[in-house]
Amino acid sequence: MMSKNKLKVAPPSTETYIACPYDSAHRLLPTRLAWHLTRCARNHPGSKMVHCPFNNTHIYSVTDIQTHIGVCPNRAHLERYIHPDKLPPAEPRAMEFNIESTEDWDAEPPVESYNPQAYCESNFVIRNPQGAPPSARREFRERERRRFQEHSKF
C-alpha cells in the first residue's frame, strides 16, 4: 500500500546561481564557480578576459578590469595588509576586562588527597594482588579473609 503523503522538493532558487563570465548561458552555483572557470576558459581561448588580482573568480574584459580593481570588495584585505594602521581591523577587537576573585586555583586544597590504598584497606573492597608469586598471593588472600571476618563482626 502506497502512502498518500507525497513529498515535494522545491526546485533550486534561480537567485543563488551565478552567470559565467565567458558564456552568460552557463548558470552555476557559487561553490562551483572556480572549478567551472578553469574548464570554461579552455573552451574560450580567444576571449579577452582578465582575472582580478584580488580574487581569481572575478573575471572581466580588458576594458572593465581597471574599474573593477578600484571597487573590488577583496581589495580591502590587501589594503589592510599594506597599511594596518590606517584601516580599521576586519573584526572588532574584543574588549579586555578583568574579574577580581579571591579564589586561588593553584593553592593546595585544605583537605587531604584521596588515597585509594587506604580506602580499600578500611572498607569491604575485594582486592587481587597482581604480579606476586603464588605463596605471596596465598598469604594475601588469607589476610583478606581475616580482615573481612573482623569487619563483619561489627
pLDDT digits 0-9 by tens, 17-49: 888 888 889 898 888 888 898 888 888 888 888
Banded pLDDT at 12 (limits 50, 70, 90):
low
Banded pLDDT at 3 (limits 50, 70, 90):
low
The pLDDT value recorded for residue 136 is 94
Q: What is the mean pLDDT of the chain?
A: 83
pLDDT digits 0-9 by tens, 113-126: 889 988 988 888 88
Banded pLDDT at 89 (limits 50, 70, 90):
low
Count the neighbouring beta carbons within 10 Å of the beta carbon of residue 50. 17
Banded pLDDT at 2 (limits 50, 70, 90):
low
The label of the residue with cell 576573585 reads 101
φ/ψ (deg, to 5) at 130: -105, 140
Domain range annotation of the chain: 13-47, 48-90, 118-152
**Burial state string for 91-120 with b = 16 or more CB within 10 A and e = fewer than 16:** eeeeeeeeeeeeeeeeeeeeeeeeeeeeee
